[in-house]
Amino acid sequence: MIKKILFVMILTIFFSANVFAADIIVDNQKIDAETIIVDGRALVPVRGVFEKLNFDVNWNDKEKNAVLTKGKTAISIKSVENTFTVNGKSITPDIPQKIVNRRFYLPLRAIVETLPEYNILWNSIEKTVYINSTDIKTTVDTQKKENTNNSESEKKEIEKEPEIMGYRAEMPVVEKNENLKLTIMANDVTDRVKILSGFTSKEIETKNFTEKGGKRVFETEVQMTESGEQELMIYAGNKNGYVKKAHKTVPFIVKKEKMLEEDVKLKIESLEKEVFALVNKERAKEGLSELEWSDELARAAKGHSIDMAENHYFSHTSLDGREFDERIENEGMSMGFGGENIAAGSKTAKDVMEQWMNSPGHRANILQPEFEKIGVGLAFSKDSKYGYYWTQCFAD
């Protein structure tokens, strides 16, 4: 018979059900910035990322606006508006800038896409944004200067920019380290295409094409070196360079890896045991006895995490109406005093423990002197709202 039950929940997302944390990699270097994703778009603090991109960042706290400058580029962003300007040109992003917990967050993709020296890609499985330097540049002005003496018809042809007309992915699902075959259609002034991968930061360039129906058709292959979902960016160019605005994105190419399920299982078990160790580390700081691992509590915790991930909910109450104590008793364990913590959204043991320890209710469970046993369960589903679902079960 349960004498007393303590249970609390926490989401690592604080102001919207569609918001979660993400990492940023700039030219293979991870950036320490509190990035959040809102409806598939990254928002970043006004400093951090843009200073890493060599911008001077000036923040006017009174007027709540930021000015980012780099060379001849000046970006002005006001917190009270849904647009920003680049060299005086107004741009409306999919997700506007926001003030969150008194910090000013900027729409990363919308801003970076205005910068010809960078490309930006999103890995939805790893919740990571990749920003890579590139040599892409605009070609039209250069062509005009070099051909001022051409005829009017030649000038019109010169002013035409390379452009990607479309693409076809022959194998949208491939095994890890297999090749994705791409057929790319471009206009008749494009004589080369370049493909960029966010996972590897590698560039693949091809100049071989065939003429078909007034278009140029390029065929190439991209080796998929990582499992998960990714974006590939395709750019059109000619001898003068690549055109920033001529790109197309191949989104969410899913790559299956053999033994992926087994790898995920091992990773999850490792994270669960890491949380177990971190709990006892926190208890030791307070002079409390270590908790013992309980397979029964772990099965109850794991089952509830899987249920939440697969059925898209977040609650201490199962969809069939069972509470925490009933789930534990169903695993063959009886106790007098127990508790439960749940969380969603955190990708690492360290992150979820920090969230729990910063919450009075969760902290109380972790540091409860009467508890003697613990079980931890983690589940992951890329199709769920939060991705990662955690459960801790405690008992005396």
Q: Distance from CA of residue 180 to its chain's centroid? A: 22
Q: At what angle do helices 260-285 and 349-357 cross, to 10 degrees?
A: 40
Show contacts of 80-88: CB within 8 Å, 24+ apart.
84/110, 84/111, 86/111, 86/114
pLDDT of residue 78: 83
| Each residue's pLDDT tens digit, 258-305 | 434 555 667 888 889 999 999 999 999 999 999 999 999 999 999 999
pLDDT of residue 17: 30
CA distance 146 to 158: 10
CA distance 353 to 281: 11
Closest to 59 (Cα-Cα) out of 73, 78, 72: 78
Determine what percent of the chain is predicted with pLDDT higher than 70: 72
Whole-number Cα distances in Å, 351 to 70, 171, 243, 258: 34, 37, 41, 29
pLDDT of residue 245: 59
- Which residues in the chain come in under a pLDDT of 70? 1-22, 37-41, 100-102, 122-127, 134-159, 169-178, 197-202, 224-231, 244-265
DSSP 162: P
Q: In what order do the strands lie in the sheet with 89-91?
A: 56-60, 65-70, 73-78, 84-86, 89-91
Residue 166: strand, helix, or coil: strand
CA distance 292 to 299: 15
| Each residue's pLDDT tens digit, 242-266 | 776 555 666 544 444 443 455 566 7
Which amino acid, 366? I
pLDDT of residue 14: 32
Please state the pTM of the whole predicted model.
0.42
Whole-number Cα distances in Å, 326 to 256, 322, 375: 37, 6, 15
Residue 41 and residue 107 in contact, taking contact as beta carbons nearer than 8 Å? yes
pLDDT of residue 248: 61
Torsions phi, psi of 67, nearest 5?
A: -125, 120
* Token pair listed for 350: 């360290």
pLDDT of residue 284: 95
Show contacts of 321-328: CB within 8 Å, 24+ apart.
323/5, 324/5, 324/7, 324/300, 324/393, 325/2, 325/5, 327/300, 327/303, 328/296, 328/297, 328/300, 328/393, 328/395
- The DSSP H or E segment spanning 298 is helix 295-311
